[in-house]
Each structure stands twice: as structure tokens, then as C-alpha cells.
Amino acid sequence: MKYKKYDDKGNLTYFEMPRGFWYKWEYDDRGNKIRQEDKNGFWWVAEYDEDNHQTYYEDMHGCIIGFRKGQDHIKVVNKNQNNAQGWSPFAK
């Protein structure tokens, strides 16, 4: 049986599959997903600008894409080259 939990704004915050694998999500005040975590310990965080465009992504492997508030340049870092996944977290 699957288990789902939602916050008071209707955002899915927890999902557990029949064999115990789960995901957790956090959202900002505008409903943008700002954090994901799973049973295996993988996590990522994101930030968005005032127009809800994703401007920053960082994950547990050290992959950093974009810029944080207050930075004036784009930064792309992947400390673990074996983690190249060939996708962009900014894709719609």
C-alpha cells in the first residue's frame, strides 16, 4: 500500500511505496519544491527568484548549478564526476 501526506496547501510532502522506499519534499511559500530527500539519503535543495524561476540547485554529491541570492555569477560544480547524469534541474 502506498502512503501519501500533504501539507495544508495541498503539496505532496511525503510518499512511501509498498516496499518501504520513501521521498520527502519541502516547499517555499509560493509552492516551489525547495528540498527533496529519499530513503537512501539522497537530497537536493533549490532556490527560486521572485518570478518562480529556479536559480540554484545543489545535491548531496556536490553538484551545484546556478547562483544563490547575493551571488553575482553562475557557478557550476560537480565534485563527483561519476555523478554526471546528463540532465538539468532547470528543465521544465
pLDDT computed for residue 1 by the predictor:
67
pLDDT computed for residue 92 by the predictor:
42
Q: Is the pLDDT of residue 87 over 50?
A: no
Mean pLDDT of 57-73: 81
C-alpha to C-alpha distance for 57 and 30, rounded to whole angstroms: 17
Q: What is the pTM of this model?
A: 0.72
The C-alpha cell at 64 is: 551545484
CA distances from 47 to 1, 20, 24, 67 (A): 33, 29, 17, 9
Backbone angles phi, psi at 28, to 5 degrees: -85, 180
Q: Is the pLDDT of residue 89 over 70?
A: no
- Compute the chain's Rg from CA coordinates: 15
Q: Is the pLDDT of residue 64 over 50?
A: yes
